[in-house]
Amino acid sequence: MSLEGTDVAATDAVTKGGATNEDGTSEGAPLLTLSDVSKVFNGDLVALNGMSLQVRAGDFVSLLGPSGCGKSTALRLIAGLSHPTSGKIDWTGGQGAGDLGVVFQEPTLMPWATVAQNVWLPWRLRGKSYASVKDKVLEALALVGLEKFAGSYPRELSGGMKMRVSIARSLVTNPRLILMDEPFAALDEITRHKLNNDLLALRAKIGCTIIFVTHSVFESVFLSNRIVVMAARPGRVIHEVAVDAPYPRDEEFRTSSAYAAHCRAASDALHDAIGD
C-alpha cells in the first residue's frame, strides 16, 4: 500500500491527541470508559462479566483471548449494536456522528456497487450525496492504496484488497475510534503481515484510536501498545500486558528480541486465560 501522494490531515494525529510516546505508551485524554460492563444472554449465559477499561486517545488496544471469551460481544457493546445488561460505557464529551468506524472479519462489501460506492456508504446513510463527499471517499481510498480501484467491483479484488476497502469505509467519516474484529484472520500470513504494517502506517498518519480483536499473540504484540487478555466462561478480562516498544514498528521490530520477549509475556498471560 502506498501512503504517498496524499495529504490527508497531517495534523490529525495532533488534533485528535493520537500521538504515542517513544516507548509506545499513550498519554492521550480518556476517550472511552467501560465501567463494570456485563452482558448476559438468555438469562444465564454470561458472555462478558464486569469488564472495566479506559481507552485513551492514541491507544492501540488489542483484545486477545480464546474463542468465546466475549471479544466480539465487547466490540458490539462499544459500537452500540447491543446494550450492556449492567454497567456503562461512556464517551468523553459524548459520541458525535461519525466518531466511530467498524471493520468486521468479513469485508461485507456490496457486490453490486463499485469500490467508491461501497466506501461512500457511511455518508450515504447520513443522507450525503456522492458528489458532496467524493473527495473524502477518494482520500480514504488513497490512504489504503486503492485510489486507482475506485471504479472497480469487489469481485475484481483480492481478499486483501477487499479488506482495504472495508478499512477505507471505516475511515471515511474521519472517526475518533475504529473497532476492528479479527479483520485479517481470514488472510494468508504474508498478506496479513503487509496489512499489519500498513495499518500502523495509516494510524501514524491519521492519528485515530483503535480497538482490535484478535486471537493471535504475534499480531497483538506487533500492533498494540496495550493488550487486554480475556478468558472465557464467563467472558472476562484477566490481564493487561503493556507493549512498551516505540512506534513506528516495522519488519525489524518483528524479528527483534524485544518483540520475542513481548510475545512470550502475552503468550504466558493467554495460557493463564486458557487455564493451562
Q: How far is the CB of 256 from ligand ADP (least distance, A)?
A: 29
Site string for Mg ion, 227-266 (x = CB under 5 A): ----------------------------------------
Q: How far is the CB of 199 from ligand ADP (least distance, A)?
A: 20
Chain residues binding ligand ADP by CB under 6 A are 41-42, 45, 47, 65, 67-73, 235
Distance (Å, whole) CA 107 – CA 112 = 14
Q: Which is nearer to ligand ADP, 74 or 245 (CB)?
A: 74
E strand segments, 92-235 = 100-103, 177-181, 209-214, 226-231
Q: Residue 70 binds which one of ligand ADP, Mg ion, none, with CB within 5 to 8 A depending on kind? A: ligand ADP
Among residues 38, 49, 62, 72, the one that binds Mg ion under rule CB under 5 A = 72
How long a stretch of residues is the chain? 276
Q: Which long-range contacts (CB under 8 A, 24 or more apart) does 152-155 make?
A: 152/114, 152/115, 153/111, 153/112, 153/113, 153/114, 153/115, 154/107, 154/109, 154/110, 154/111, 154/115, 154/118, 155/111
CB atoms under 10 Å from CB of 201, counted, come to 18
- 220 contributes a contact to Mg ion by CB under 5 A: no
Among the listed ranges 30-38, 69-77, 112-120, 204-212, the one in contact with Mg ion (CB under 5 A) is 69-77
Contact residues: Mg ion, CB under 5 A: 72
